[in-house]
Structure 1
Amino acid sequence: MHFDVHGRTEADARTIILSSGLGGSGGYWAPQIEALSAEYRILTYDHRGTGRSGGEVPEAAGITAMADDVLEIADRLKLERFDFMGHALGGLIGLDIALRRSDLIERLVLVNAWSKADPHSGRCFDVRIALLEHAGVSAFVKAQPLFLYPAVWMSENAERMDADERHGVATFQGKTNILRRIAALRAFDIDERLSEIEIPTLVVGTRDDLLVPYTRSLRLAERLPNGELALTDFGGHAVNVVQPDSFNDTVLRFLRATPKTYEQ
């Protein structure tokens, strides 16, 4: 497992682990690094089967196997407690750890995540799988931003979209790995166990998320005993990339003081 450490270097510094979504790259969190660095030792990592970690996603065990990879890193660094922020699939990893090792997580941040996949998300994944199976890697990668970003943001960042597409094709994690990762997130279902997670949790959702209806975030916030909701109108699925300043401010306020509700 490849991981990078940013920010504070003291052994006793407060640590936050950042876990990305389906793409699996630790680089996804670049817009958050500077904002968190003054107060945190920040751990980013490439999920197994992606980026510099390489390897193959296990055929079975799903999200739990991915959470075990995080626990392996935490053990290697001798972390007794840490905060955890996960985007989409990364949020599911955080929820899995929270259920099995609640003693490890101080604060939990879930970004456009879910306790059970919405049928609409399933339709989106069906489309993406069909593109991969019948049109190939290039078409799959080209379509990816449509599920991540608002249309106007993509229009205003056309050069970045082209660069990201080239990078996505060059570093594609492989058909087998992507299909197993999609299968894992579709199978994830802890809907009836949310009341067991008492960790203070910030649930970040966006009303214009094309991939994950914001009602999934509402459900998390309502059912988690110490869940707090930060709901915004604009930002799409990758709101931490589209609206980094407001996103970072919201997350830092929560991590510092865990206030009840944020309206962005």
Structure 2
Amino acid sequence: MNKPMYIEVLGQQNANAPTVVFSSGLGGSAHFWQGQLKELCEKYRVVIYDQLGTGRSPAQLPKNYSIEHMADELQEALNKLDITTFHFVGHALGGLVGLVLAQRIPKQIMSAVLVNAWSYANPHTLRCFAIRKSLLASGDNAAYLKMQALLLYPPDWINANIGKLEEEERHMQKNFPDMDNLLLRIGALSQFDIDKALASINVKTLVIANKDDLLVPWQQSENLASKLPSASLCLMEYGGHASSISTPDEFNRILIEHLENVS
């Protein structure tokens, strides 16, 4: 039997405080947002969580696992916390979860921020995930993690942070995610397609993309912004796929400015 999903409520604890829910990408870890917590917690109630089947939320995921399942899990967790209205910030796979929630419960979402996300899986991104699956099948977890870093970060950022990065990779190798769950999560994001429904999702949305993102072409974000009725596009020149980590100051400035404008 699966344990409850690990979730934390940080920052302002007043139930009337504006709430920001962060949802991570494929890794599913709340730790992904460490670079945002200090600034966001000063004014907001902040929710972070380990997605089911990842990190501190061990679970056996069903064979038909989908992004819709991930939205179900988060929605249930927020309901248990009596969080009924919130801003949503999702990175990559987390952004897909946000699109499903925005389609289902638009009146509960004050705004959505979609970071290097997409409405359907494009051929380039699918090729990247095919390589990831091949590395998983080979059993070479170390190579998988090195490949992951190449997809997430700019080359000069890797050079400047190589010691920290290698330390994290050693830790991740000792705590490598469940293989079956990881493959199911890759399958879920690969099959996701909400493109034809975008015009019906009327939630105030900021779409953030990085021109140097090696994993997800920035044009996928351009497509989102052009089809969502209440969306704007912010194109960052630098930061790779994980600009919230590689350029936290600029990312936080953009995010906080958006939240303040919506509020």
Matched with 2:22 is 18
SS in 1 for 2:190: helix
Gaps of 5+ in 1: 260-264
Which 4+ runs in 1 deviate beyond 6 A? none
The answer to whether the aligner puts 1:178 opposite 2:182 as a matched pair is: yes
- In 2, distance between residues paired with 1:241 and 1:57? 28
Matched with 2:204 is 200
Q: Residues 52 and 70 of structure 2 are in contact (CA less than 8 Å); yes or no, is this contact kept in structure 1?
A: yes
What is the CA distance between 1:145 and its match in structure 2?
0.4
Percentage identity across aligned positions? 43
The answer to whether the aligner puts 1:34 opposite 2:38 as a matched pair is: yes
Matched with 1:211 is 215
SS in 2 for 1:117: coil
- The counterpart of 1:165, out of the listed 151, 163, 169, is 169
SS in 2 for 1:5: strand
- In 2, distance between residues paired with 1:251 and 1:57? 32
- In 2, distance between residues paired with 1:189 and 1:90? 14
- In 2, distance between residues paired with 1:61 and 1:155? 37
- In 1, distance between residues paired with 2:165 and 2:133? 21
Structure 2 counterparts to residues 114-129 of structure 1, below 5 A: 114-129=118-133
SS in 2 for 1:238: helix
Q: How many residues align?
A: 259
Structure 2 counterparts to residues 216-255 of structure 1, below 5 A: 216-255=220-259
Q: Residues 65 and 184 of structure 2 are in contact (CA less than 8 Å); yes or no, is this contact kept in structure 1?
A: no
Q: Structure 1 stretch 42-51 or stretch 4-13: which is displaced more?
A: 4-13
Q: Residues 58 and 65 of structure 1 are in contact (CA less than 8 Å); yes or no, is this contact kept in structure 2?
A: no
AA partner of residue 217 (structure 2): P
SS in 1 for 2:88: strand
Gaps of 5+ in 2: none
SS in 1 for 2:22: strand
Q: CA RMSD in A?
A: 1.2
- The counterpart of 2:91, out of the listed 68, 75, 87, is 87
Normalising by structure 2, what TM-score?
0.96
What is the CA distance between 1:138 and its match in structure 2?
2.3
What is the CA distance between 1:85 and its match in structure 2?
0.3
Q: Deviations over 1:4-25 (max 9, x none)?
A: 1111111211111100000010
SS in 2 for 1:48: coil
The answer to whether the aligner puts 1:74 opposite 2:78 as a matched pair is: yes
Q: Structure 1 stretch 159-168 or stretch 233-242: which is displaced more?
A: 159-168
